[in-house]
Amino acid sequence: MTLYTPRYRVWVDFLNLRLDEGYGQFGNRNHFAFLMEMTLGLALGLIASGGVRRNRLPVYLVAAAMVWMALVFTTSRGAILSMFSQLIFIALVVTGGRPSQEASWPTNRRRKWHISRSLMTRAALVACLVAAVVLSVIWVGGDTLVTRLESVPGELSVEATPERTGARRIEIWRATWRSIRANPVAGVGFGGYWAAIPAYRDASGEWTPEQAHNDYLELLASGGLIGAALGTWFLVALIRLAPERLHATDSYRRATCLGALAGLFGAAVHSLFDYGLHITINAFVFTVLIAMAVVNGRVEKGAP
């Protein structure tokens, strides 16, 4: 079956869909992985920060396990790295926080709490967590995931391929960097990357990338220093508000903020290698997580 759009011809064979090639409405494993890692970060943040009631905890754990398995089954290398980053982020935030009621604790309890939050303890906890997740990911992902992970050195190799297709990420990034150097102030314009990038590629021309496979490079290429300044301003505003919400008196508000930040952090890490936030649903969920991370107060308190 062939579908036509103003710019693309899309061929879809509904009878021969293979593993790792389609995920519901997503035709790309990496785009689906973006949605799963944002969902997983939110769920893990709520669980780890005590934002879930005990009678509901099994439901959240089962949901998080299903999302985690879906993420691993995508065999997306960027998603696996993103997931590890989320786990480390949550572990460091949870073990590094200071409870508001600490001043009222007895001396012995405060001493034990500080020992449990020491740097060595936190490092050991993170190391054990990462080791356990690595083993479980390899076990669930199987040979398919291992094979894809083994292909990473070739993907990032600077040596040119005989075909000169320029389809590897390292080649796309180098072409994008040439575009940035040629248009440093205002870039090539948002939405114009696909039209401008052929002039900066050293390839056969058989295939042309429409995204940079790195949203930060694409922001610089499309918006130049002006776009980068706007992005930095937004990031600084988020970083300034987030710590206040993480130390809110409401435990559920703190847990929601941590979960939202974990989801955002995972998407930010994955954006180093893919362009999943160009997909409408992923961008929408990303925006919702930003609102959840910075909103002050709980929704039900404002209800009539």
Domain regions of the chain by residue span: 2-302
User: In whole angstroms, what is the distance from residue 304 CA to residue 301 CA?
Assistant: 8
| pLDDT tens digits along 196-228 | 988 888 776 677 788 899 999 999 999 999 999
Of the listed ranges 163-167, 183-187, 216-220, the one predicted with least confidence: 163-167
Phi and psi, residue 26, nearest 5° = -95, 130
- pLDDT above 70 covers a percentage of the chain that reads 66
Residue 123 has pLDDT above 50, yes or no: yes
Say yes or no to pLDDT of 140 above 50: yes
Residue 291 — very low, low, confident or very high, per pLDDT cuts 50/70/90?
Answer: very high
Kindly state the helix (H) or strand (E) to which residue 46 belongs, with its residue range: helix 29-48
Alpha-carbon distance 186 to 188, whole Å?
A: 7
- Is the pLDDT confidence value at 69 over 80? yes
Contacts of 13 (CB under 8 A, 6+ apart): 1
Tell me the pLDDT tens digit for each residue of 14-55: 444 455 555 667 878 889 999 999 999 999 889 888 888 888
Whether the CB-CB separation of 145 and 75 falls below 8 Å is answered with yes
Asked if residues 285 and 292 have their Cβ atoms less than 8 Å apart, the reply is no
Q: Please, are residues 260 and 42 in contact by the beta-carbon 8 Å criterion? A: yes
The answer on pLDDT for 114 being more than 90 is: no
| 299 vs 45 pLDDT, higher one | 45
